[in-house]
Structure 1
């Protein structure tokens, strides 16, 4: 009887996983649709094309990335807004994760443009380094929950007090579920930015299950994630407007989560173009400080970020390990290649140990933002082996703005918005064999080919991924949402 129950349980688990895989297969097919012949580059290429219409009557129904549009970020705003922001943590610049870096870059820029920002965050956060004369930046701190999240009762009370004192908020912005849906449903002029949704994460769970060694216990995440998707589909409508940070996420919000199109807006992540830009002098100084040869050898491949499992470092480590051991090809070519690792985490020590095996691997540890820009300038190509299928990783955008080609995992968010063609970089499947093949291809391509791809990557970065583009798009969205009932025409756009 016990054996029968176990067999039945295993069968149900297997059936559930097959069901999830089938959802993704159908999703990919539907996403590609009539552009299937173009899907080698990106299933979402069709979403990148701008319409040839001279005027957009209502930006809220614009189906493409707002980064394609031109909004003035140099002139003074046509209207100064009172903005509420809910974010779990407000970080120091050098320790910001993707969500926090987005919040930091966007809202400091909006404050510098004169808008009044009220930031509701936890008192465990370190207050940012900003101009103390910036009197339009206000922090409302509260004690976090045991799990580190915003205490909703406390922040809601703070919010209501500020909303009723003087001018009410023109617009409310929450980074992910900083403001939970139990409160958000009472706010009509609210926009939530999603940096990852459960439906995308299922892809990550499948990848990590396939990469799991037999010694590791099977995770529960894969079977639990589908119910998380159902939960999100149910509560997402409680947010008035949704901002997707990738084309893929925007498509999923509309098609799978069934959010009306006029409530979903795609604004791609942006990074500081004044910090991340080509600089040959900084590249030369960085190489001298870290003992990187200045001559034509070796070709430098860079990795940066948190050196943890879901960022793909077990995959990268195993690929390098096999390349060292399996044949003479790598032994002959390794003097033409160096791996430069910026960041910290469990895999830092493993990379150092591997580097002691006479292969060119240097682990630099975590770098400040300015030093990270020097790092990008010193490498020939940036490699991101991430297994996280959601959001847009800032490191790829930073490298592109520094004029470097990029190489990353074939995930929908990356292929749909960042590496949309081979002219700007390389992609690989999340397997050791595919990653090794891509690395060999890079080494065989040579520096001249990589420099050409880097030029294309920078042009795309300047077109879509600058902080100026992102800030201007958000400002226009906030102006549009604030003008719904007062007769302003900020939702209308003319080319």
Structure 2
């Protein structure tokens, strides 16, 4: 009897904790959803009016809004990077693509990179022309992670060779907090945190079909949030890849403001740009008529948490309801995953293209009238949205705080919808009802916003300044430039 009462008491306590976490998330979600329009203009923010320079550690908005010099700095850094997996061709997630894009750009700017990552025995490791990119490879653990003992020895060896590292960067938990806690010159970039994922778990449970087994991830996730709140402060500096994530790190994870820095993801602006000719040729090759049609596109992993169950059902309902939509709307699906075969059987106008290399992906975006991302993952900042925007296309995505707070900040850029079949279907009808000229105007605004915030060079310049700031903040006595002040007198 006593044991049963204890179990019941523990269950009630857990439910209370979960309710509290959900309430906090709802409050933060409402705040960002409400603030996304009035608090953000499409292209810029208002910097504080003051005569004294801003100390960058206390700048509360995304560093992408600031303008840093495009010239390499006088001080070139020795940088250590820890990343679980290095991208190979098109087989890469957002974290890996971020690591590649950012650190290639830093290498081009002359910094010395030492990358600690795993090497797959099944494929050759990519080669790069930059002699200042040094890879230190190790065998992954059984779970596919970095072997912390091995990479730490590699790191210590390189840290004692020549000059020590100016800054250490880890993509998420590439370097565990148990090793990182003593490094005052370390910055960790978070591409998703457990608190954000609770929202995703709730949404996926809501869209679960009766035939699917119930998932019990929420219990584990709430415990993981508590664990993260405990160990996150052991990292010296935190980089949030969305405005919303930065807010969570400060308010929910209680990390001091001066240790949280928002730097939005960026993509290669030399690859992803408007090219009408390549888009037209792409359409011709896959058999789409030149005029009189609307072309929607999706790209990425074709899995459940990317929203394909609700997209599939929304399209299925519209195809059954509207004959004109059946004939005049084409849906291009780029990527790989279990939902690819289902899309193939949905309707002849749904064309599944498989995974595409970057150059092909750039032509894919140019072939579209609008890009759709139906993700159910309320975390991170999806690269596909940014690539489409830089290609001059309007975007349509789930109304999550990370998206409405950083990317689709108003109807001038595109469309948003709640993560339900009904809301997504209504949004698709709105797009279909708008004229091509309306979509083109939204695409122009989307590109302007993309060029302002989401380019690889913009992202790399912000990270470079952060790394310089962290490095210079540790120097004592010697005459030095204060990279933590914005703007510098020489800017």
Q: Normalization by structure 2: what TM-score?
A: 0.93
Name the CA distance, whole Å, in 2 between partners of 1:180 and 1:101.
Answer: 21
Contact kept, 8 Å, 1:172 with 1:190, in 2: the verdict is yes
User: d(CA) in 1 for partners of 2:342 and 2:295?
Assistant: 19
**In structure 1, what is the equivalent of residue 301 of structure 2?**
306
Residue 69 of structure 1 is matched in structure 2 by: 66
C-alpha contact 2:472 2:482 (8 A) present in aligned 1: yes
* Partner of residue 155, structure 2: 159
Q: In the alignment, does 2:441 pair up with 1:452?
A: yes
Residue 90 of structure 1 aligns to a residue in which SS? Answer: coil
Alpha-carbon shift at residue 213 of structure 1 (Å): 1.7
How has the CA–CA distance of structure 1 residues 55 and 355 changed in structure 2, closer, same or farther, with 3 Å as cutoff?
A: farther
Name the CA shift for 1:138/1:42 in 2 (closer, same or farther; >3 Å): farther
* Count of equivalent residues: 481
Q: Given the superposition, is the C-alpha separation of residues 165 and 220 from structure 1 closer, same or farther in structure 2, using an over 3 Å criterion?
A: same
Pair 1:349-2:376 in alignment: no
CA contact (8 A) 1:91 1:128 kept: no
Q: Write the distance in 2 (CA, Å) between the matches of 1:170 and 1:260.
A: 23
Does residue 80 of structure 1 match 2:76?
A: yes
Partners of 1:113 and 1:86 lie apart in 2 by 20
CA distance in 1, matches of 2:379, 2:416: 16
Residue 274 of structure 1: how far off its partner (Å): 0.3
1:247 pairs, out of 243, 247, 252, with 243
1:441 aligned residue (416, 430, 436): 430
8 Å contact from structure 2 (residues 29, 401) kept in 1? no
| Structure 1 range deviating more: 114-123 or 211-220 | 211-220
**What is the Cα-based RMSD across aligned positions, in Å?**
2.4
Task: Determine if contact 2:62/2:264 at 8 Å carries over to the other structure.
Answer: yes
1:336 & 1:10 partners in 2: Cα distance? Answer: 54
| Displacement after TM superposition at 1:417 (Å) | 0.1
Give the distance between the partners of 2:141 and 2:109, measured in 1 at CA. 33
* Match status 1:131 vs 2:128: yes
In the aligned structure 2, how far is the partner of 1:461 from the partner of 1:419?
11
Shift in CA distance, 429/173, structure 1 to aligned 2, threshold 3 Å? same
Q: CA deviation at 1:43?
A: 7.4
Match of 2:22 in 1: 21
Question: Any idea what the Cα deviations from partners look like across 1:210-241, whole Å, max 9, x if unmatched?
Answer: 11122222212112211111100100011000
- State the match for 1:208 in structure 2: 204
Which one is further off, 101-110 or 5-14? Answer: 5-14
The answer as to whether partners of 2:305 and 2:375 remain within 8 angstroms in 1 is yes
Question: Is 2:402 the counterpart of 1:413?
Answer: yes
Q: Which 5+ residue runs of structure 2 have no aligned equivalent? A: none
Q: Cα offset for 1:284?
A: 1.2
The TM-score, its normalising length taken from structure 1, stands at: 0.92
Instruction: Quote how far apart the aligned CAs of 1:56 are.
Output: 3.0
Aligned partners of 1:263, 1:79: CA distance in 2, in Å?
23
